[in-house]
Amino acid sequence: MLDSPLLPRLATSAASAYIGGSWFAVPGPRDLHVTNPADGRLLAELPMLGADEAERAIEAAAASAEQPSEDDRRAWLEGIAAGLTENRRELGRIISLENGKPWKEAEAEVDYAASFFRYAASHLERLRSHQLRERPRGHGWVVHYRPVGVAALIVPWNFPLAMTAKKLSAALAAGAPSVLKPATLTPLSSIALLEIIDSLGLPGGMVNLIVGDSRSIGRVFCEHPAVRSISFTGSTEVGRLLLRQAAPHIKRLTLELGGNAPFIVCGDADLDSAVEHLIQNKFRCAGQTCVCANRVYVDSAVASAFTDRLVRRVAKLNVGDGLQPETDLGPLINRAGFEKVRGHVEDALQRGARCEAGELPPEPTEEWGLFFPPTVLSGVPHDARCVAEETFGPLIPLIEFGSESQVLEWANGTEFGLAAYLFTADAERARRMIGRLHFGHAGYNSGTGPTAEAPFGGWKASGFGREGGREGLMEFVEPQTVPSST
Ligand code: NAD
């Protein structure tokens, strides 16, 4: 069992629910087992909660729906950011243990999470009421930004703390009470976050946590009238389900869904820089991120030079237990994830691709220790599964292209529109091509992902709504317009 000063309640049955400002002991079996994906070690046994507890949490949130002052909201946001930073090392350890990612990467996730609370704290003036300069119809017009109501926050396992921070910082900035549902694979960092929040003395019900069965809790979120906004990060499949379930109840949704990011290397690009950006972009969380390059298109004139450089760089990567300091890639999260990546490699090889780095690992025999070698395949045909689907693992498929129009057609030929990357030394070509890429995030000579200061979100089947930046701060407010004849 995981022993952590940030998780004092793991030995009791009161860690699965934080409702109305208190930890909530739930009798019954503790049948949710959280394990370390590196070695299968049991980290925690928690009660698996469901619809009843979800309703209770929503009602506690609804009861706290007073509009908090800007000073209070700023103090909460700053307090959480400071609490995260103070506990950076231990939170990083918890994330690494439950998710498998390298500890140093997990610490960077804590910094990233804290940056969202800091950004929101320092931009609350954007949510102030304001008077229009114009006086249409001879009236004075004031616009207020009211909290939306109860916000339901559903987060995935790949950035368990950062994805929570993106949503919770915006909800608190708006003054909207929330109910957080972490992924059952990685609930411990959210529980630790709630321990930090508990010490800050927020009004009871402002932030609630419920760990449990996704389907039943998700359904309650969609159907309960007090929930006015659902913010979800996860697969497109579950996003579609939530849309369907919420439709009869007309709820606000923010959907951060799957990606299938193209990474385009033009013939005039700085190849060393493109390789380094690809390594940093692709192997974070062992390739299990929504903004990871999923298909790498290289101008055929530089394909062999690029491949050589990439293969040499990949050979330096260490795969292993996330707590070991030399580890660059940890294990994949579970067997289904491993089998998907393995299936993509096998399929591409069968279609004639060549293996430049890595190898096809044997089929797994255990549920843990699923270390997948960083793999580079060249000559990948366009109809391979790893080109059409999001692999979510450490596979780089290289596809050669001959012209700008061809690569743009291929890059956009997906239902997804989350992230894309373009490497070229020609600024005019970059301007032209980025203008034609149908993605919400388009890196130019950069593989960087989102940041707290800029809006991030998808187009098409990658979802809608934004996190980060001033657009992200508007996700949990309802504008109220007040015309006045006086
Ligand atoms: P997932 O959809 O299976 O799960 C995400 C969350 O939804 C988890 O908390 C899960 O417990 C919950 N969930 C599952 N079924 C549910 C249901 N019926 N009702 C309510 N909640 C339910 O996704 P995942 O496997 O955890 O994450 C991987 C996916 O997330 C990938 O497709 C990835 O691209 C996407 N993702 C997107 C972003 C983004 O910002 N766009 C960021 C990270 C991950």
**Same CATH topology for 13-257+462-483 and 261-451?**
no
Q: Which atom of ligand 1 is nearest to the CA of 255?
A: 41
Report d(CA 449, CA 115) in Å as an integer: 14
Q: What are the C-alpha distances in Å from 64 to residues 149, 177, 190, 205, 371?
A: 10, 7, 21, 5, 45
Q: Among residues 256, 390, 400, 475, which one is catalytic?
A: 256
Q: Is 404 a catalytic residue?
A: no
The fold for domain 261-451 equals Aldehyde Dehydrogenase; Chain A, domain 2 (3.40.309)
pLDDT band at 223; cut points 50, 70, 90: very high
Q: What is the pLDDT of residues 371-405, one digit of tens each?
A: 999 999 999 999 999 999 999 999 999 999 999 99
The average pLDDT across 129-157 equals 97
Options 1.10.600.10, 3.30.830.10, 3.10.580.10, 3.40.605.10; CATH for 13-257+462-483 is 3.40.605.10
To which residue do tokens 């200061």 refer?
Answer: 453
Ligand 1 binding site (Cβ under 6 Å of any ligand atom): 154-158, 181, 183-184, 214-215, 218, 233-235, 238, 241, 256-259, 290, 390, 418, 458, 462
Q: How far from the centroid of its chain's Cα atoms is residue 31's Cα?
A: 26
Q: What is the pLDDT of residues 323-374, one digit of tens each?
A: 999 999 999 999 999 999 999 999 999 999 999 999 999 999 999 999 999 9
Do residues 7 and 172 make contact, with C-beta atoms less than 8 angstroms apart?
Answer: no
Percent of the chain with pLDDT over 90: 97
pLDDT band at 291; cut points 50, 70, 90: very high
pLDDT mean across residues, the chain: 97
Ligand 1 centroid – CA 132 distance (Å): 40
pLDDT band at 11; cut points 50, 70, 90: confident
Ligand 1 centroid – CA 395 distance (Å): 20
pLDDT of the residue at 27? 85
Side chain identity at 123, as an amino acid letter? H
CB neighbours (10 Å) of residue 316?
9
pLDDT of the residue at 281? 98
Ligand 1 centroid – CA 185 distance (Å): 11
Q: Among residues 222, 285, 290, 292, which one is catalytic?
A: 290
Report d(CA 376, CA 354) in Å as an integer: 8
Do residues 310 and 396 make contact, with C-beta atoms less than 8 angstroms apart?
Answer: yes
Pocket probe mutation, ligand 1, options 290, 292, 415, 416, max atoms within 8 Å of Cβ: 290
Closest protein CA for atom 19 of ligand 1: 218
Q: What is the pLDDT of residues 42-59, one digit of tens each?
A: 999 999 999 999 999 999
Q: Which atom of ligand 1 is nearest to the CA of 290?
A: 34
pTM score: 0.97
Report d(CA 177, CA 20) in Å as an integer: 10
Q: Is 266 a catalytic residue?
A: no
Where are the chain's structural domains?
13-257+462-483, 261-451
Report d(CA 15, CA 7) in Å as an integer: 8
Q: What is the pLDDT of residues 414-466, one digit of tens each?
A: 999 999 999 999 999 999 999 999 999 999 999 999 999 999 999 999 999 99
Selection from 163, 146, 161 nearest residue 196 by Cα: 161
Q: Which atom of ligand 1 is nearest to the CA of 450?
A: 40
65 has a pLDDT exceeding 80:
no
Report d(CA 295, CA 180) in Å as an integer: 33
Tokens of 71: 């000073």
Q: What is the pLDDT of residues 224-253, one digit of tens each?
A: 999 999 999 999 999 999 999 999 999 999
Do residues 324 and 348 make contact, with C-beta atoms less than 8 angstroms apart?
Answer: no
Q: DSSP readout, 282-315?
A: HSGGGG-STTSEEEEEEETTTHHHHHHHHHHHHT
The average pLDDT across 147-162 equals 98
pLDDT of the residue at 12? 86
Report d(CA 285, CA 37) in Å as an integer: 12
CB neighbours (10 Å) of residue 287?
25
Ligand 1 centroid – CA 444 distance (Å): 28
Q: Which helix (H) or strand (E) holds 398?
A: strand 395-401
Report d(CA 469, CA 102) in Å as an integer: 28
What 3 state SS string does 103-149 have?
HHHHHHHHHHHHHHHHHHHCCHHHHCCEECCCCHHHCEEEEEEEECC
